[in-house]
Amino acid sequence: MAAHARGLTAERKPGEDPRGDGAAVRITGLVRSFEGRRVLDGLDLSIDADEFVALIGRSGSGKSTLLRALAGLDHEVEGTGRIDAPEQVSVVFQDARLLPWKRVLDNVVLGLAGADAEERGRAALREVGLEGRERAWPVELSGGEQQRVSLARSLVREPELLLADEPFGALDALTRIRMHGLLRRLCERHRPAVLLVTHDVDEAIVLADRVVVLDRGHIAADITVDLAGPRRPGTPEYAALRDRLLGHLGVETPARQERAESKARSREKP
Ligand SMILES: Nc1ncnc2c1ncn2[C@@H]1O[C@H](COP(=O)(O)OP(=O)(O)OP(=O)(O)O)[C@@H](O)[C@H]1O
């Protein structure tokens, strides 16, 4: 994929794995600036093939800037650094970005080569639970259904890397939970490397193998989600991880407050 911010010092090398370490994505010393202000400040990040990484961080920390750099959508941005990423990349945004004048199936297969494109498109729609809606217009679908079409459009291209920028941010809570299940199943089947930008710590824990916290252009934490059994908010391990991630985002939780108070009390003791 040709993709470069102005001033990028090194070329992207699609699909290369020079170290043979199984990484699908390798980002080294990435810098991105707007009007002289560094939003990404020498960032390094690797994502293994078929690894699911969630990227969280406060508003303005540079999450979308990083995702756009990886997607090759930042030609006008000032920057340096090196990005090694696969050739086949698909991007899903918060809004489904379907063409309103094309039917659902035509949106899915748009630009897809091969005599079997339509059959693959139908199969992708089946996978996301939209069999029978091939001839519907986008406007006839709910928000959740439109995002399903957007996922089908991405996955029909069999991406080695799936980039998702708050894909479920505009959906209601119940639809979101259903979409989490769908995305997890699709990823287990197609096994792309995934970078998911989200504001939702629970979404990150439920879906990801690793959660990366971005803070002022640097990686402030890189945490493997190592929870035994189903990832249910009720378990102590889940609560501890959630608490830790919220701490990195500067959010005070009752548990953190309790710990701080007990530390302060023990310091006061003679
Ligand atoms: N095209 C642009 N021109 C100028 N500044 C920009 C541009 N795009 C992003 N920025 C700035 O870069 C910083 C990082 O933006 P970015 O969208 O990457 O943050 P984010 O972590 O995705 O935020 P949010 O969670 O609110 O979506 C912000 O301060 C933003 O104002």
Tell me: the pLDDT tens digits for 25-55?
999 999 999 998 999 999 999 999 999 999 9
Domains of the chain in start order, with CATH, are 94-158 (1.20.1580.10)
The dihedral sign for the CA sequence 93, 98, 104, 107: negative
* Residue 79 Cβ contacting ligand 1 at under 6 Å: no
Does pLDDT of 7 surpass 90? no
Q: What is the pTM of this model?
A: 0.88
Query: Does residue 33 line the site of ligand 1, with CB under 6 A?
Result: no
Residue with tokens 């995702």: 67
Q: How far apart are CA 156 and CA 178, in angstroms?
A: 20
Task: Note the pLDDT tens digit of each residue in 136-180.
Answer: 999 999 999 999 999 999 999 999 999 999 999 888 999 999 899
Tell me how far the alpha carbon of residue 270 lies from the centroid of ligand 1, in angstroms.
Answer: 49
ipTM at complex level: 0.97
Q: How confident is the model at residue 20 (pLDDT cuts 50, 70, 90)?
A: low
Ligand 1 atom 18, closest CA: 62
Report the separation in Å between the CA atom of 72 and the middle of ligand 1, taken as the mean of its atom positions.
16
Q: What is the mean pLDDT of residues 213-242?
A: 89
CA-closest residue to ligand 1 atom 2: 34
40, 69 Cβ separation under 8 angstroms:
yes
Distance 73 CA to ligand 1 centre (A): 14
Please state, in angstroms and rounded to a whole number, the distance separating the CA atoms of residues 207 and 216.
24
Q: What local confidence, expressed as pLDDT, does residue 21 receive?
A: 67
Q: Is the CB of 57 under 6 A from ligand 1?
A: yes
Q: Which segments of the chain are extended strands (E)?
A: 23-34, 37-48, 52-57, 78-84, 89-92, 161-165, 193-197, 210-215, 218-224
| CA–CA distance, 153 with 125 (Å, rounded to integer) | 8
Three-class DSSP category at 25: strand
Measuring CA to CA, how many Å separate 104 from each of 28, 85, 89, 174, 237? 39, 29, 21, 23, 42
At 15 the pLDDT is 44
Which mutation among 40, 41, 63 tests ligand 1's pocket best, with the greatest number of atoms within 8 A of CB?
63
**What tokens does 188 get?**
């287990």
CB-CB neighbours of 218 under 10 Å = 15
Report d(CA 55, CA 71) in Å as an integer: 15
CA of 64 to the centre of ligand 1 (A): 7
Mutate which of 64, 163, 196, 218 to test ligand 1's pocket (most atoms within 8 Å of Cβ)? 64
207 C-alpha vs ligand 1 centroid, how far in Å? Answer: 24
